[in-house]
């Protein structure tokens, strides 16, 4: 369990760094093109890592990896629909929904054991998420695609669990997932006939891809350790870190209730750690 929490904290830090950096190229050339390059670079990075990672890779692992890629790509496209009209901070505040899905799956379907303290920590983290989302609590139909996209991402994490149970080459699972997602987004761009990108921001996509690739790899290791419930509860604290980064780096405003959410999340992380 301690090892799972350590990988969860590592994944949390890397995912947060990648998603915070995502704001820069997305605002300059659009989130769709930026995400396309990120999925491409992520698949290449993880394919490279898989070469040095021991383990077989059977047909079942390939099938589950491909399915996870379809769910990942569909989720991305739905979230990008919301990003066209909604603020990135509002849209990204829904990220914990994607982690809540595997947490519930791990707890009630896989029957992963968590003690009272871990339960309290998990509740505090998701309660903090609720507070951080306070400014978006009014029914906002523009965020419905993002909500659905995060549910698809949650289902993707569940499918990843079945993929890693059929192989020990976890990087290859993530590589295939990102590659299928890249193909899906490429088809979407071809149909849309839009492929405008700025060369100077391709490097940004590569850095983000590196951060998110190793964040995903850490998450896959958590699943291999049968610790989805506790691990993804830790990663769900990402909005707290994004809120702090937004305040100090991008000068986003934070109200008192959102600050309470940040504190709640950090207390929950402290208990889990």
Confidence of residue 201 (pLDDT cuts 50, 70, 90): confident
Overall average pLDDT of the 172-195 stretch: 89
By three-state DSSP, how is residue 198 classified?
coil
Confidence of residue 70 (pLDDT cuts 50, 70, 90): very high
Residue 33: other Cβ atoms inside 10 A: 22
Sign of CA dihedral 87, 90, 91, 92: positive
| Domain total in the chain | 1
pLDDT in the model for residue 208: 95
Asked if 83 and 191 touch (Cβ cutoff 8 Å), the reply is no
Q: Which residue has the higher pLDDT, 133 or 37?
A: 37
pLDDT in the model for residue 138: 57
Overall average pLDDT of the 40-55 stretch: 93
Nearest to 263 by CA among 248, 247, 241: 241
- Specify the residue for token string 């990988």: 7
Q: How far, in Å, CA of 261 to CA of 119, rounded?
A: 17
The whole model's pTM is what?
0.88
pLDDT in the model for residue 110: 86
pLDDT at 5 over 70: yes
Sign of CA dihedral 112, 117, 121, 123: positive
Q: For 82-134, what is each residue's pLDDT tens digit?
A: 877 776 666 777 788 888 889 889 888 888 887 888 888 888 888 887 777 65
Q: What are phi and psi for residue 57, nearest 5 degrees?
A: -145, 100
Q: How far, in Å, CA of 202 to CA of 185, rounded?
A: 17
Q: Which residue has the higher pLDDT, 217 or 22?
A: 217
pLDDT in the model for residue 54: 81
CA angle 164/170/176 to nearest 5° reads 95
Asked if 173 and 213 touch (Cβ cutoff 8 Å), the reply is no
Q: For 129-168, what is each residue's pLDDT tens digit?
A: 777 765 555 556 777 888 899 999 999 999 999 999 999 9
Confidence of residue 259 (pLDDT cuts 50, 70, 90): confident
Q: Helices (DSSP H) in 133-169: which residue ranges?
A: 144-164
- Specify the residue for token string 């999340």: 265
Nearest to 95 by CA among 122, 76, 110: 76
Counting residues of the chain whose pLDDT is more than 90, the rounded percentage is 41
Count of all residues that appear for the chain in the document: 273
Overall average pLDDT of the 33-56 stretch: 92
In the structure encoding, which two tokens stand for residue 10, read together?
A: 């590592």
Give the structural domain span for 177.
2-272
Overall average pLDDT of the 69-94 stretch: 82
By three-state DSSP, how is residue 167 classified?
strand
Asked if 225 and 3 touch (Cβ cutoff 8 Å), the reply is yes
């Amino acid at each position: 369990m301690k090892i799972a929490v350590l990988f969860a904290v590592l994944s949390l830090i890397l995912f947060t760094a990648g998603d915070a950096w995502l704001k820069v190229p997305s605002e300059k050339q659009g989130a769709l093109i930026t995400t396309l390059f990120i999925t491409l670079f992520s698949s290449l990075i993880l394919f490279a890592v898989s070469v040095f990672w021991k383990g077989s890779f059977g047909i079942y692992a390939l099938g589950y990896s491909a399915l996870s890629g379809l769910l990942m790509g569909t989720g991305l496209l739905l979230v990008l629909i919301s990003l066209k009209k909604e603020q990135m901070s509002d849209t990204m505040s829904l990220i914990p929904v994607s982690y809540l899905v595997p947490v519930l799956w791990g707890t009630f379907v896989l029957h992963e054991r968590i003690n009272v303290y871990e339960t309290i920590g998990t509740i505090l983290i998701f309660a903090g998420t609720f507070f951080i989302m306070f400014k978006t609590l009014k029914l906002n139909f523009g965020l419905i695609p993002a909500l659905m996209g995060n549910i698809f991402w949650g289902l993707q994490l569940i499918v990843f669990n079945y993929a890693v149970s059929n192989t020990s080459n976890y990087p290859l699972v993530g590589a295939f997932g990102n590659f299928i997602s890249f193909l899906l987004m490429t088809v979407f761009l071809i149909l849309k006939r839009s492929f405008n990108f700025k060369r100077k921001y391709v490097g940004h996509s590569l850095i983000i891809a590196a951060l998110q690739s190793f964040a995903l790899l850490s998450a896959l290791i958590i699943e291999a350790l049968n610790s989805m419930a506790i691990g993804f509860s830790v990663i769900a604290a990402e909005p707290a870190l994004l809120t702090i980064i937004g305040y100090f780096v991008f000068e986003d405003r934070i109200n008192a209730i959102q600050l309470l959410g940040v504190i709640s999340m950090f207390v929950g992380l402290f208990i889990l750690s």
